Amino acid sequence: MTAVKRYLSLVKFSHTIFAMPFALIGFFLGYQAWIRMQHESGFSGFGNFIIADKLWIKFMLVILCMIFARSAAMGFNRYLDRSFDALNPRTAIREIPAGIIHANSALIFVILNAVAFIVCCWFINPLCFALSFVALFVVLFYSYTKRFTALCHLVLGLGLSLAPIGAYLAVTGKFSLLPLLFSFSVICWVSGFDIIYALQDVHFDRDHQLHSMPALFGAKTALHISEFLHMLSAGFVVTAGFYGHFGLFYWLGIGVFTGMLIYQHSIVKPNDLRKVNLAFMTANGIASVVFALFVLTDIFMK
């Protein structure tokens, strides 16, 4: 295994599929808002072309920010939890406890990604640079929360929810309700499926004084909390649909998104966790990617 593959495995790079599509939604909502601002100001011609060209540079910077922030967060989580991972049979094969990557090397990897994230934000605009430290604190702080609160799932959701609003700010430099509605949806969506994922470690978490919704309330109640959070998530994207005056493709995307939420709850039961990974990765990956494709199609057809 090459060094690149080892570190991609360390941070579960494939899981970028969850938040990245929502970052694209935020970016192109920002692009749409930028187009409206140009029309209102009457700005056109060569200057318009130059600014549009800079937007594509920002687009690449947003992608890099997503990669660097998530890599820093996931790498730090693996570094901080290395002793627990070594004790848990499910996680003992991870790179640090298995000796594939040294703990100090993982920490250096985290620092490099954190610095790269801040630098990219500096190139985007002053607001994103100022908020980059807040964003980095949130995504890194999550790794501590399981040690003292069952609300850790919500902190993870908060970290990933920065994707749509952060990408929107990269284009416009201004806050707006519409991307915030998508961020609220991401908080509830991610928190809900992270609760499902945590069902696998109920006994381990209780034995080692780690906190989670399943460990605190039991599998059945935790699943009900997850269902409620996913209902809220669907509610936020429906609200965004009305508020943003989206068209047919958007509502088709909502059908897929909510369908995948319902599906994952239909295959995971308190006494049957065999399909947790199917619910966690496949159902949510489809929900995120397909929903974003429909939303972006709707945006570009306006």
CA–CA separation, 235 vs 285, rounded Å?
A: 19
What domains, with CATH codes, occur in the chain?
Answer: 3-301 (1.10.357.140)
CA proximity to 275, closest of 184, 284, 162: 284
Please answer whether residues 182 and 25 qualify as being in contact, where contact means their C-beta atoms are separated by less than 8 angstroms.
Answer: yes
The predicted structure's pLDDT at residue 258: 97
Residues 127-136 have a mean pLDDT of: 97
Query: What CA–CA distance (Å, rounded) separates 85 from 65?
Result: 27
Measured CA to CA, the distance from residue 128 to residue 126 in angstroms comes to 6
Q: Residues 22-51: pLDDT tens digits?
A: 999 999 999 988 887 766 665 554 445 445
CA distance 233 to 251: 15
What percentage of the chain has pLDDT greater than the value 90?
81
> Average pLDDT of 88-113?
96
Q: With 60 as the cut, is the pLDDT of residue 251 above it?
A: yes
Query: What is the per-residue pLDDT for 47?
Result: 46
Residue 235 has pLDDT above 90, yes or no: yes
Q: How many CB atoms lie within 10 A of CB 277?
A: 13
Give the relative orientation of helices 152-172 and 177-198 as an angle to the nearest 10 degrees.
Answer: 150
Q: Tell me the pLDDT tens digit for each residue of 144-171.
A: 999 999 999 999 999 999 999 999 999 9
Question: Is residue 291 predicted with pLDDT exceeding 90?
Answer: yes
DSSP state of 101: S
Are 59 and 27 spatial neighbours (Cβ–Cβ below 8 Å)? yes
Contacts 24+ apart (CB under 8 A), 165-168: 165/26, 166/23, 166/26, 166/62, 166/65, 166/128, 166/131, 166/135, 167/23, 167/24, 167/25, 167/26, 167/27, 167/30, 167/62, 168/26, 168/27, 168/29, 168/30, 168/33
The distance between the two most distant Cα atoms of the chain, rounded to a whole number of Å, is 66
Query: Per-residue pLDDT averaged across 96-112, rounded?
Result: 96
Give tens-digit pLDDT for 176-233: 999 999 999 999 999 999 999 999 999 999 999 999 999 999 999 999 999 999 999 9
53 vs 39: CA distance, rounded Å: 17
**pLDDT number for residue 53:** 58
